[in-house]
Structure 1
Amino acid sequence: MKKKYYIQLNPISMDFISDVKIEDGSAGYQYEVEADEEEITELQDMLTIAQAHDSDERNLLSFRHFDDQSADHDRMEYREELNAIFQKMYELGTPPTRKAIEEIHALEEE
């Protein structure tokens, strides 16, 4: 059975999914999706991986950021993760969510 979930994407807590919409505006934009338990678990896993990659200590506490090739590879991996997240949110999204994703051109062109 599908139910509504709200996803907040920001650099601090990208992996935040709630079944309650935060109405006070403190959460920023929340993407609304309709998903069953398996679909929301898959999306949660994708968000957790992207969040972990973005805050990976290897990227923060090393000289890797001086290595352009490693930095480019890290950015490409992170971008691919985000593309997959936006694609999944689009597939599961309500009409306002799909429109918002289209408006920010978050889906990778074929």
Structure 2
Amino acid sequence: MEKETYYVNLNPISMDTLSATPANDGQMIEYEVRVTPTEKEALEQLLHSAQKHDMELGNMFSFRHFDDEKVDQDKDDLQSSLNDVYEAIYKYGTDETKRQIQEIHLVNDDQ
């Protein structure tokens, strides 16, 4: 299958989709990836999962934020989802994307 170039940003509002065009927004960090349609769908599912966990942390209209165990679990779930996202971005990323992620130490060097 032919790989196409897409752009990933981790803005909580729009992180669940890949864009075919860069946002060219100096305030936003974007990562360039090359994926097949199947890989694109899998990456979007990871992004959606991370976004869902991020929204759970933002839910301040419940008493859930008073329960330390639930808050800790939400944080762990979000971090795990973000780790999966960064691993996928690194896997499918262009050389520039891989360099950016290595610079911020978001890849497991043990692999």
TM-score class, shorter-chain normalisation, is 0.7 to 0.9
**How many residue pairs get matched?**
109
Indicate if the aligned counterparts of 1:6 and 1:31 stay in contact, CA closer than 8 A. yes
Give the TM-score of the pair, scaled to structure 1. Answer: 0.87
Aligned to 1:9: 10
Aligned equivalents of 1:17 and 1:47: distance in 2?
9
Which blocks of at least 5 consecutive residues in structure 2 are unaligned? none
CA-based RMSD:
2.0
Aligned-pair CA distance for 1:61? 2.5
Paired-residue identity, %: 38
Indicate if the aligned counterparts of 2:7 and 2:18 stay in contact, CA closer than 8 A. yes
Aligned to 2:95: 95
Aligned to 1:62: 62
Aligned-pair CA distance for 1:109? 5.6
Q: Which runs of at least 4 in structure 1 moved beyond 4 Å after TM superposition?
A: none
Q: Is the counterpart of residue 39 in structure 1 residue 47 in structure 2?
A: no
Aligned to 1:76: 76
Indicate if the aligned counterparts of 2:57 and 2:71 stay in contact, CA closer than 8 A. no
- After TM superposition, the structure 1 stretch with the greater mean CA deviation from structure 2, 92-101 or 57-66, is 57-66
Which blocks of at least 5 consecutive residues in structure 1 are unaligned? none
Aligned-pair CA distance for 1:83? 0.1
Indicate if the aligned counterparts of 2:57 and 2:74 stay in contact, CA closer than 8 A. no
Aligned-partner SS, 1:14? coil
Residues 70-91 of structure 1: per-residue CA shift (max 9 Å, x gap): 1111100100000000000000
Aligned-partner SS, 2:18? strand
Aligned-partner SS, 1:60? coil
Aligned-pair CA distance for 1:93? 0.3
Aligned-pair CA distance for 1:13? 2.0
Aligned-pair CA distance for 1:10? 1.6
Aligned equivalents of 1:40 and 1:91: distance in 2?
12
Aligned to 1:51: 51
